[in-house]
Amino acid sequence: MAGIRSHFIFRRDATLKVRTRARAGLMSVFFLLGFGLVAARLVDLGIAGTNDGLSSSWKQISSAVYRPDIVDRQGRMLATDILTGSLFANPSRINDADTTVEQLATVLGGIKPRTLRKRLQGSGKFTWVARELTPRQQAQIHELGLPGVDFVQEPHRVYPAGPTASHVLGFVNVDNRGLAGVETHIDRMAGVSASRSKRGQEPAPVRLSMDLSVQHAVHAELASAMKRYQAKAAAGIVLDVHSGEVVAMASLPDYDPNHRKQAMDKNRFNRITSGVYEMGSVFKVFTTAGALDTGVTSLDKGYDATHPLKVASFTINDFHAKRRWLSVPEIFIYSSNIGSAKMALDMGRKRHKEFLGRLGLLSRMETEMGPTAMPIVPRNWSRLNTMTIAFGHGLSVTPFQVASAAATLVNGGYKVAPTFLARSRDEARIQSKRVIKLQTSDLMRYLLRLNAQQGSGRRANVAGYRVGGKTGTAEKVVNGRYSRRALMTSFLGVFPMDAPEYLVLVVLDEPQRVAETKGKATAGLNAAPTVGRIVERIGPMLGVTPVLDRGRKRFDEHVRASY
């Protein structure tokens, strides 16, 4: 009996051991599965973090988009995205809205407590608290340990060059979507995405025609001119006359696109593309070119500028009156309103208007930044309109249109659509067409160079760069009347004139009569020397080699021979 009992006890103990081992094995399997799931999730999150750089809930929470980088023609960074923290709340998890708002206000000085408190007391599960936080603000809020609030990382646009190129680049809203400048072009290209690209698959940078070094020089010289001549504003553009590329464009006062609220200031608009002005005597380049191109005049022809022109109650006079017959070159370098008006009358209203329209001066211009401002064109183009528009009054256009149209006059007669994106001269030539004769272009180059040597553009004549150009001084309309005290001055410069490559247009808004200009405020004393200083700085940057001015005689002979 004792043996049998011992046998049963042994079998019972063995059975218990097997069951215990089975249970342990089963528990081990459960633990392994659990740890495996956790590990898999961690790996998944790790991979997601590597690919996205964001939490898995980012796409559901944020409406911000990623944008491609923007670089200048040399590949230098102009705009890029970085990750910044944004703070959101789940009102259903907020225990004490008053305390939460009170503590957040100690870090976020810009919040409106009453509005935020109302949102936190709502029944929803999501509301934004603040976006685009600094790392310091994130750390301070994190230390508060507030239940119901959390962070999400969002793409945020930054502009390393600050205000230097603001009017070209534009800016974005809080969701990183373009609101102005080239940034709007990127949106139209569908170049933004709500999810970040995988490593190695980021969109290619958008390469602009702008040269950041040239842009900086233009920006600095415009700022200097504003201070030097006590002007209300200044604007300038540098254009490649063959490719149509905008190499630089600035308008002051400007704004820092890193602080988008500055752009809301109505005085910080882009005067090159969004302002329309009567450009004054700069328009005489178009009048002269039109008269030469249509064959109604020639360099050997002259006009009687002895007496003012009177049309009804309107009198057309010359600022630098010579009171004699003037040849066409003299009309150009002495900037005769009388001579220019008579040339336009020889063209006739129909041909005059058609020529300006052919150059793109009577309609909006489309670029990657969108359309320019609409020109103000006379509703009924009368004989008097033809006479006054001939010397730059009665037709308001953007400086951008003037620069583009003037490029046609010196590049051999081709109308090239301007662009803010990099492209070659060969590509531009394929897309362009000749709208004036090559001979007309040669003659205009001669006259522009002559004006910089002997006329109102002498102060833009930089040694070695063979600058040519035309001044423009226009009276602004104040209280319905032209004011002699409120002037808009400009200078249209081109260099080098024997083989034109670049055009520089500068506009100054209400420059004052300062000691440096001997109490005068005309374009030849402020806008022209500003262009000269710009050319002197950017010429080497653009690879234009300065040479001794020995080629003038050969250039003159070439023009005369072709004529």
Measuring CA to CA, how many Å separate 23 from each of 28, 30, 36, 133, 546? 8, 11, 20, 53, 92
Report how far apart, in Å, the C-alpha atoms of 417 and of each of 99, 128, 168 are: 60, 44, 17
Beta strand pairing call for 206-207 and 70-71 = parallel
Separation CA 349–CA 387 (nearest Å): 9
> What's the burial of 82, exposed, middle or buried (CB within 10 Å: 0-12/13-18/19+)?
exposed
Rg of the chain over all Cα atoms, to the nearest angstrom = 34
Give the separation between CA 117 and CA 105, rounded to whole angstroms: 11
Instruction: Find the helix packing angle between 552-562 and 438-454, rounded to 10°.
Output: 140
Contacts of residue 164, Cβ cutoff 8 Å, sequence gap at least 6: 212, 215, 216, 219, 250
Q: How many CA atoms lie within 13 A of 453 on its CB side?
A: 16
- Is residue 555 within 8 A of residue 499, CB to CB? The reply is no
Of 213, 281, 404, 456, the catalytic one is: 281
Helix axes 284-293, 349-358, angle to 10 degrees: 110
Residue 243 annotated among the catalytic residues of the structure? no
Evaluate the CA torsion angle 498, 500, 503, 504 in order and state its sign: negative
State the DSSP code for 178. B
Our CA angle for 428, 245, 66, nearest 5°, is 110
Spell out where 317-406 has E strands: 325-327, 366-367, 370-371
What is the DSSP code string of 447-512?
Answer: HHHHHHHHSTTGGG--TTS--EEEEEEEEEEETTEEEEEEEEEEEEEEE-TTS--EEEEEEEES--
Element (DSSP H or E) covering residue 411: none
**Under 8 Å between Cβ of 401 and 419:** no
Report the amino acid identity of residue 117. Answer: R
405 vs 400: CA distance, rounded Å: 9
Side by side, which strands form the sheet with 246-252? Answer: 246-252, 233-240, 502-509, 481-495, 468-478
- DSSP lists the bridge partners of residue 302 as 327
Report, as residue numbers or ranges, the catalytic residues.
281
